[in-house]
Amino acid sequence: MARSVFRCFVSGILLFVPLFAFAEESPYTLDSIVVTATRTESKIKEVPANITIIGREQIEERGARTLTDVFRDEQGVFTRSLLGNPKYSTIDIRGFGETAAQNSLFLIDGRRVNEIDMSGTDLMQVPVEMIERIEIYRGPASVLYGDNAIGGAVNIILKKGEGAPSVIAGLNTGSYDLYNPYLGASGKQGRFSYNILTSSYETSGYRHNNDIRARDAFGSFSFDLPRDFTVSVKAGHHRDTYGLPGPLTDADLHGGVYDRKDSKTPLDEGNTEDNFIDFEASAKPCETVLLSLGAAYRKRHSSFHYDMDGNPWDSMRRFETMSLTPKITIKENVFSLKNTLVGGIDYYYSPSRSNDLGTGSDSDTNINKTEYGFYVNDEIHIMKDLLFSAGYRLAKVKYDIDYTDNTGFLAPINDFVKKEKDAFRFGLNYILPEKGNIFVNYSKGFRFPATDEYFSPFAAPPINEALEPHTAKEIDLGIRFNFAKNIGASATVFSGRHKNEIYYNPLTFTNSNYGKTKREGLEASFFWLIVPGLRLDLGYTYMEAKFDGDDLDGNRVPMVPRNKLTGALSFALNELTLTFSSLYVGDRYMTSDIRNTYPALGGFTIHDLTGVYTWKGLKVTGGIRNLFDRQYSEYAVISNATGARNYYPSPERNYILGVQYIYKF
């Protein structure tokens, strides 16, 4: 009864608010600038790929507190969280399931932040207050970015200081003892611009042993020197500690002993420290040539403690990454045809150190990964509104592996592995003046194995030299179109054929290559500014990810739903904006169920309500997540040995309240 009344109350609000929504809103535009698609500035209508720009205003309108919140409504993108908080959240572009973290590339201002092992990208390391916009590129982007970009690439663009000096201060609070204060300053004085931010994020979490405490400090500085010479420096520090609540089985959830919020691993925990510095210099020796040089250093340390029925296991990981990325951009007409050529070298050196101690084991593993690639990409306007693009990359990688068993039980290992792959892409893009564009794109991408996919001291042999890089060839056909000034839509159909996709085989307990897999689907979005102040956004994804041949032929890839549907209705009344959003994710087979033997993990629908009030420098945000209190799990794993289904319960209804103030001097 109470739930029915609550639904009617919300529905009543949504019916009456449009009558008072008269605020103006910016029309949909195709002239927005993107950098991810070509590694230089391009208009989105000139890009032959399905790429999305999520601006700072959209992030604020959604009331997003984490990157997972930001990506949740994007077509062709699936989000999952093991812990129900920002830690161990995964973004899956175009349906790779359990290996999504290795097949989607993440960049911060063009600097790659993927780990070289299977731990995945830490989406907690960038506070949303530092983000200017996010660009999502769907489909193989290996030509421009190399490893990990076989499914797509996400580029997080940080804010730059502009205008008079200003100070930003804010606090977010809410369910599960959320405490998220932040303080920063930004501005530009003459040729020098700056943006700095420090923040804290603490929550007890939805489940027991689900707490997390994090601290962040970011700085972005830029110097504009004479003769078109620019130097920028970015630096950041992240530190966190968190609990690991672990999964619950069907028997746990229905046996009357455990609740959804309980944990069977109350002593398991982890911590992380991550530091980086990023340097870039650019110069224009002439009007048509831009030279740039990027260099970065990153050091990350993480450790874990597991209590295995009273037998402790401690694991430590330390990663360093040094990169050098020189690049040249030439914008010079060829036979009177507008032409842009981008070429460069990407060099990454990533030494890693790890130690595992417990239950009679004591070992040290050192793996150094060296990767370098040469790439070139050219775009030429064959006609005024017809653009042809082509690109190529050659990449080489080497893994140096040194293993020592300090107990003396296993023999030491000192060996190396070398691999080489190339990538290409061809695109044709026709611009519909003032309306949109139609494009077709054919590309080949690759992914090299992660370090812990190649090596395990308990495997035979310990270095899996038979493991091949994953390659894919994909064709995309898409359209972006404005039917009118206030109505816009986009649709992309794609078909990809994958060879040697890397996965953990739960039947043999080894990392292996699938023979062939395929992914076909549709990504569509629709925007309608119904009247000034009343906006409707819809998104739909159809994803068919299947094994193609052998004894798994026709089976679905685990953890990839066929259907995803999103919708948002936004109402603006002067300084107040209300947004009611919905998300539907279809059923999917659990991780490790490659034979599709067990019942699928059921689909779910959740709804959110967010309100944002702005007045001068003040912004107040309120939100209700999982409005109708749906009980569901975003992630689950099957045990092929016992048939047990292991669930990671997602949060029920929860609330958030935020206050922010910007003071400009």
* Strands 604-615 vs 576-585: parallel, antiparallel or unpaired: antiparallel
pTM of the model: 0.92
Is 352 within 8 Å of 321 (Cβ atoms)?
no
Is 139 within 8 Å of 49 (Cβ atoms)?
yes
Q: Report the pLDDT value the prediction gives residue 16, as an integer from 0 to 100.
A: 33
Q: Which whole-number Å values give the CA distances from 235 to 2, 106, 218, 225, 325, in the listed order?
A: 50, 17, 6, 20, 17
| Structural domains present in the chain | 2-664 (2.40.170.20)
Of residues 380, 299, 300, the one with CA closest to residue 334: 380
Q: Report the pLDDT value the prediction gives residue 613, as an integer from 0 to 100.
A: 95
Q: Report the pLDDT value the prediction gives residue 26, as an integer from 0 to 100.
A: 38
Is 431 within 8 Å of 46 (Cβ atoms)?
yes
Report how far residue 250's alpha carbon sits from residue 334's, in angstroms, rounded to the nearest whole number.
Answer: 65
Contacts of 388 (CB under 8 A, 6+ apart): 379, 380, 382, 426, 427, 428, 429
Residue in the block written with tokens 């797509």: 152
Q: What is the pLDDT of residues 601-632, one digit of tens each?
A: 999 999 999 999 999 999 999 999 999 999 99
The residue count for the chain = 665
Which parts of the chain have pLDDT scores under 70? 1-28, 507-508
Q: Report the pLDDT value the prediction gives residue 437, as an integer from 0 to 100.
A: 95
Radius of gyration of the CA atoms of the chain, in A: 25
Report how far residue 74's alpha carbon sits from residue 508's, in angstroms, rounded to the nearest whole number.
Answer: 36
Q: Report the pLDDT value the prediction gives residue 586, as an integer from 0 to 100.
A: 97
* Strands 152-158 vs 104-108: parallel, antiparallel or unpaired: parallel
Report how far residue 121's alpha carbon sits from residue 104's, in angstroms, rounded to the nearest whole number.
Answer: 9
Q: Report the pLDDT value the prediction gives residue 549, as an integer from 0 to 100.
A: 84
Contacts of 430 (CB under 8 A, 6+ apart): 385, 386, 387, 437, 438, 439
Q: Which tokens hold the place of 123?
A: 């989406």
* Strands 361-383 vs 339-358: parallel, antiparallel or unpaired: antiparallel
